[in-house]
Chains A and B, each alone.
Chain A
Amino acid sequence: MDPARAKRSSWLNDQRVRGLAYQILLLAVIATLASGAIYNAVVNMRARGVPMGFGFWNDVAGFDINLHLINYSNLSTYGRAFWVGFLNTLLIGIICIPLATLLGFVIGVARLSPNWLLSRFALVYTSVMRNTPLLLLLLFWYNAVLKSLPGPRQSISIGDVVFLNNRGLYLPMPVARDSAVWFLGTVVAAIVSAVGFHVWARWRQDRTGAQMPTVLVAAALIPGLSAIVTAVAGAPFGFDLARLSGFNLKGGLQIIPEMAALVFGLVTFTAAFIAEIVRAGVLAVPFGQNEAAGALGLHRGLSMRLVVIPQAMRLITPPLTSQYLNIVKNSSLAVFIGYPDLVQIFAGTVLNQTQAAVQVMAITMAVYLVISLTVATALNAFNARYALNGR
């Protein structure tokens, strides 16, 4: 720099010095706030006799949970209760994500339908769902619908197979028989060979251009072989039906009303958002792509499958993933209707019993953060693989 100029402008106006000063100032403010908060927290927690460490993790919880995928009783530890809640949160995610995707795609396609009435129906559905709070939907389904159903003795039943009453939804529970091993083995073998055939057909098509009916072969192999095994070895599964005994239904697969309401509410709510994403994605593919596919001689189904959908998926996937994360995060509304998820058990009951608010909240938030970050990383990997390259 020109020495005369350097003298004229004070170092106070140097951008680098100023930048450094701003950053140091910010860090100092954050450090002051954080240390103040920590100091206050320690003082306040001591004064209230709140446990400071994670020792409560191995203490006996002493409360019951009405839905647990792993062994749990009121003699189990708080740590065990955490895992029960965590698995219940994942369970809701695993059930709701495929259902919401399916319903969302159906409504999204209905929204795009050339049938005016059908597309209006889909529009009304998405408008209502997107402009109503999820909590209101959950309370409506739980309090006004499921809890108002008749008791077990007056259950609503569909052909004495499926029962619905105010204690939940009862489905037939599949029970494996001796031949189930054979059956499952055959199904796996059929799927493996269908996939193998598909790979071989692809390889052959790449080299010769000749196509093989892979879908037909798969459709023949999997149900066909299953049917043969069932005919030879007998039915692989029996079904345990719910029966009325005394004042309650016994047996079957009971889905507690809290879970039914949560799944129903989350699926119908999220499906509206997914439908809008699907619609926007398909509409964003230029119509020329459709015409080009037609000019190449592809009929409507093929041009959808090979040209439009792959391009739309690139636009649909990122917002779709954030909807999946929303399902997991929104499942925390379970706390309002008493479904035992992570927030209800851990940030609710465990926090109240142990008073260890800082530790419990830190663990709860860490779980959601880990889920969010994992999914975000996976999404970035997907985007890197399928993003438009070149051009």
Chain B
Amino acid sequence: MRLSKSWIIAAKDFKTYRKKKNIISALLVTPFLVAVLITAVISYIGTRNSARTSPAELVLLLPAFLFVYVILAAYIATPISSYTIVGEKVEKSLEPLLATPTTDSEILLGKGVAAFLPPLAVLWGGSTLFMILMDLTTESKIGYYYFPDWNTALVLLLLLPVALLMSVMVNIIISSRVTDVRTGQQLGALTIIPFAGLYLAGELNLIDLGNTSNLLIVVAVLIVVDILLFFVSRATFRREEILTKWK
């Protein structure tokens, strides 16, 4: 597999996305909006005497709120990654692409990179804004700047990318099996379920997501899942079927 070929495909997709306003807006708005909204909620809670949150409770809430970005990672790539294969088919551009001297793996990797990097950059941008706003809002209550810490680094630098990658791979698999973008997006949105479940398990004290070892185990499991999904995506990418059966 030649990585340069995959990068050419990814670079072309980056150029294409810039012209797709719906994809750009879906990508950009949510992570930054979440940062602002959660900060607003925390500030509001802090101003109400009846619901005043203790510093200890805040320290528990902050990493839980940060986990929202992991859930977002599973969701936010859907518009882009579900567009990858099915979008090419809809625009009838897949046949000339498949006629070039590129392998299925190179095409899939290129599509994966194109669907992975923009959401990752936006999620890191949104979560950085979230941490800054939270630190500014909560420093006076808990006496120090909570973010960043080692667990935060682990969540943002490891868990978030592997969760995002899983979402991208699942969406690419769906994208190469369905025939229209909307169906791809609807099915792709289901990747949010395992991460929402993980978050819920944390809130119900079934798993301690503040524990570094637990987080590393989750990351390790997701890396294995991501690798498996890449091979599944290769196996499910049937160029003949895409060319001859899709109308």
The answer to whether A and B belong to the same complex is no
